[in-house]
């Protein structure tokens, strides 16, 4: 038995563009694939992003999550399939292209330039200027004020926007990057493992900002390998494994347990439990893994290898 997957056509029926009143996704991928030389990084991935929805992309290391977002963010070009932005077929040649149509990406590691002050980072690449011609100069005061205000609106109360952003904590840096994307009118916000390097409390803070961004009407793509972070904030879940989609679910059709089981793959967990037992490992851990396996079986998830792609 398998949880009900999303039918993309069905999805389109509920979503209407507010201007044209035609069913169109903010962003959609159809059977998108990418290979580096003879290495296939991604094949046949289909997903959609809509206003005010959080789409979670889940997968283990090497599942193709990064490749997927790099295609959407314009860092790489896809080799197969179609990328639609507001119903229009596109292929980005640079991050600038993606930014211009309103796709902003917050990267886990390269979100900011550490040595530069917060306000300079906030406006980097989209600086405000005053004056004309060769005497066009940065509007420093305005940029500082806006930075302070935007961050305060997101609930981040920073001491001094002049300090180098490298002095902020990882969570704060993510938040600055999210606030920046929201301020610059991003329609689609991609978050690349924003909680991966964070502690429990800071992860909570970042998750809250994801919901804030969603409530402001952004289409959020949240990349993570942690179903416990994805489930509370996500509306849809795309699961990737070895470059393929192994499931695409709506929140109402799946539970956290099922999601976790799908992610981990029931058979692999059972194997791990067996191995640990043989090694005479800690009893608690073995029990824990066994409990997980039991949960997996209850959830009725099939082996992760079953082909169950979503068709557009």
Residues lying near other proteins in the complex (CB under 8 A) = 73, 75, 95-96, 99, 105, 107, 110-116, 120, 123-127, 129, 136-138, 140, 159-160, 163, 167
Q: Which is nearer to other proteins, 110 or 285 (CB)?
A: 110
Beta carbon of residue 68, minimum distance to other proteins (angstroms, whole number): 16
- Using the minimum distance from each CB to other proteins, give the nearer residue, 120 or 214: 120
Instruction: Give me the least distance between CB of 51 and other proteins, in Å please.
Output: 23
- Closest approach of Cβ 53 to other proteins, in Å? 24
**Smallest gap, in angstroms, from Cβ of residue 99 to other proteins?**
5
d(CA 197, CA 220): 20
Nearer to other proteins, 127 or 253 (CB): 127
CB closer to other proteins, 91 vs 311: 91
Query: How near is the Cβ of 88 to other proteins at its closest, in Å?
Result: 20
Of the pair 13, 159, the CB lying nearest other proteins is at 159
């Amino acid at each position: 038995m398998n949880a009900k997957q999303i039918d993309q056509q069905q999805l389109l029926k509920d979503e209407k563009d507010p201007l044209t009143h035609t069913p169109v996704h903010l962003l959609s991928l159809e059977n998108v694939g990418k290979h580096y030389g003879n290495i296939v990084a991604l094949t046949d991935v289909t997903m959609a992003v809509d206003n005010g929805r959080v789409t979670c992309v889940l997968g283990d290391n090497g599942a193709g999550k990064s490749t997927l977002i790099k295609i959407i963010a314009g860092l790489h070009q896809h080799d197969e399939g179609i990328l639609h932005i507001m119903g229009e077929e596109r292929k980005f040649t640079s991050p600038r292209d993606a930014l211009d149509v309103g796709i902003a990406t917050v990267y886990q590691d390269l979100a900011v330039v550490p040595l530069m002050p917060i306000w300079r980072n906030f406006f980097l690449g989209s600086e405000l200027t005053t004056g004309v011609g060769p005497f066009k100069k940065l509007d420093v005061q305005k940029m500082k004020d806006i930075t302070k205000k935007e961050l305060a609106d997101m609930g981040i109360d920073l001491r001094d926007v002049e300090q180098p952003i490298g002095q902020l904590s990882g969570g704060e840096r993510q938040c600055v990057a999210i606030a920046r994307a929201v301020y610059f009118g991003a329609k689609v916000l991609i978050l690349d493992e924003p909680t991966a390097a964070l502690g429990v409390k800071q992860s909570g803070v970042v998750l809250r900002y994801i919901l804030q961004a969603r409530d402001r009407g952004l289409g959020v793509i949240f990349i993570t390998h942690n179903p416990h972070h994805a489930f509370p904030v996500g509306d849809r879940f795309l699961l990737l494994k070895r470059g393929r989609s192994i499931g695409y679910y709506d929140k109402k059709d799946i539970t956290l347990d099922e999601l976790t089981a799908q992610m981990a793959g029931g058979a692999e967990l059972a194997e791990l439990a067996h191995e640990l037992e043989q090694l005479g490992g800690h009893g608690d851990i073995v029990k824990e893994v066994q409990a997980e396996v039991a949960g997996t079986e209850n959830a009725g998830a099939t082996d992760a290898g079953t082909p169950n792609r979503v068709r557009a």
